[in-house]
Structure 1
């Protein structure tokens, strides 16, 4: 790395880790109306050093829509694959203070995103209703960054609604699940060996009726179709 590259990167690191933390918040970047990143007072002047996130109105729209339709007040929800915490926040809004949500996120980096999103949206969600675990379920092969320990599938908490967005572990989890949630919302990943047709077969075999099948995110319609990334909603018969 040349000095031409080194000093801007060093300043960028210092801005993100020290200076930026001290600045007032001017707003938030939102994914599907969920706050995921604060906008600080000087961000626009230091965009060379700090690459800002941008609003994504339709982020994870298929899962978010399923949560809005099928999660109700007082439900227990298990989320496997928390990502940026958008679906977690949405589910927390639906279950209210009488519900419970367990989030299992394999990536240590993304656990922080989930926790941050909960904090940024604390005016909307009951923080006491959630437990976040830095654990992967099934396989860690496609977990982003550094992963935490594994968590046994058979020990997953009983829930009314199960959401799976776990980069190819869907088949393994569904095949070994020891109970039957009222609703299963699952993002398939044919690109990682969990094809939509295989997941549908497992759901049918376990006594579920699939009531919805759509691309995971309409912003990436072509990519989702090419890589077989779909969201299925299944109800127990």
Structure 2
């Protein structure tokens, strides 16, 4: 007989070097060293000490933790995540990885929400914010399940770095992302892939000071 007073075992996934405890009653431990490898690689290369970083689409929280580490705990990282289930997971991850002093999560979606995503991440039950609600930052990561172009098209500031995970199957193909980044005055410096089938383009771009103001 199970003692109802016992604390449930929490499963921990290790996602590209980031421990991410999930909700009980799962247990054991999984390792995914290539989780979001292109986005996380770019964060490790381009986030600087003291940077402000915004992550639109927090997911499991691995990107948020990595960004916080790369600021050398002297910056500020904010993740936006529409699902309360994933918000809880991100908060666990921030606590376990010791980055709560510089990283936080907002329970909100920025840009349009596809209800079909609920089967993967849980219901999008957070606040709904317009695409122009992205706060100014030094580094912007967009992985918001098809809302990436909507955000880029109304972006009224110029981060030093923009990292975008495209979603061609839901109206956000990589070539359109690159065209929009070029319009905004950015040079693509890295391209990779994400997704279970490596079919999602991940594009990293740096602001070209010659093409426009910050």
Shorter chain as normaliser: what TM range?
0.7 to 0.9
Taking structure 2 as the reference length, the TM-score comes to 0.86
The farther-off stretch of 51-60 and 169-178 is: 51-60
User: 1:214 aligned to 2:198?
Assistant: no
Report the alpha carbon displacement of residue 201 of structure 1 after superposing the two structures with TM. 0.8
Structure number with the higher helix fraction is 1
Report the alpha carbon displacement of residue 69 of structure 1 after superposing the two structures with TM. 0.2
How far apart are the structure 1 equivalents of 2:187 and 2:26? 46
Q: Deviations over 1:66-88 (max 9, x none)?
A: 00000011000000011110010
Would you say how many aligned residue pairs link Structure 1 and Structure 2?
Answer: 202
User: 1:224 aligned to 2:198?
Assistant: yes
Counterpart position of 1:236 = 207
Q: Deviations over 1:128-156 (max 9, x none)?
A: 21231110011111353222111233232
Counterpart position of 1:152 = 130
Counterpart position of 2:113 = 140
Structure number with the higher strand fraction is 2
| Structure possessing the higher radius of gyration over alpha carbons | 1
Task: Quickly say closer, same or farther: Cα 1:18–1:173, change in 2 above 3 A.
Answer: farther
Aligned pair partner of 2:19 in 32, 35, 40:
35
Report the alpha carbon displacement of residue 18 of structure 1 after superposing the two structures with TM. 5.8
Aligned pair partner of 2:102 in 125, 129, 138:
129
Kindly indicate whether the alpha-carbon contact (under 8 Å) linking 2:55 and 2:141 is maintained by their aligned counterparts in 1.
yes
Task: Quickly say closer, same or farther: Cα 1:36–1:178, change in 2 above 3 A.
Answer: same
How far apart are the structure 1 equivalents of 2:92 and 2:5? 17
Aligned pair partner of 2:171 in 169, 193, 215:
193
Report the alpha carbon displacement of residue 53 of structure 1 after superposing the two structures with TM. 5.0
- Secondary structure of the equivalent of 2:85? helix
Task: Quickly say closer, same or farther: Cα 1:18–1:108, change in 2 above 3 A.
Answer: farther
Task: Quickly say closer, same or farther: Cα 1:18–1:202, change in 2 above 3 A.
Answer: farther
Task: Quickly say closer, same or farther: Cα 1:55–1:178, change in 2 above 3 A.
Answer: same
Taking structure 1 as the reference length, the TM-score comes to 0.78
- Secondary structure of the equivalent of 1:83? coil
User: 1:183 aligned to 2:154?
Assistant: no
Runs of 4+ residues deviating >6 angstroms: none
The farther-off stretch of 148-157 and 198-207 is: 148-157
Backbone CA RMSD of aligned residues: 2.4
How far apart are the structure 1 equivalents of 2:74 and 2:206? 23
User: 1:19 aligned to 2:6?
Assistant: yes
The farther-off stretch of 51-60 and 189-198 is: 51-60
How far apart are the structure 2 equivalents of 1:155 and 1:139? 12
Residue ranges of structure 1 left out of the alignment (5+ in a row): 1-10, 41-48
Counterpart position of 1:5 = none
Residue ranges of structure 2 left out of the alignment (5+ in a row): 209-214
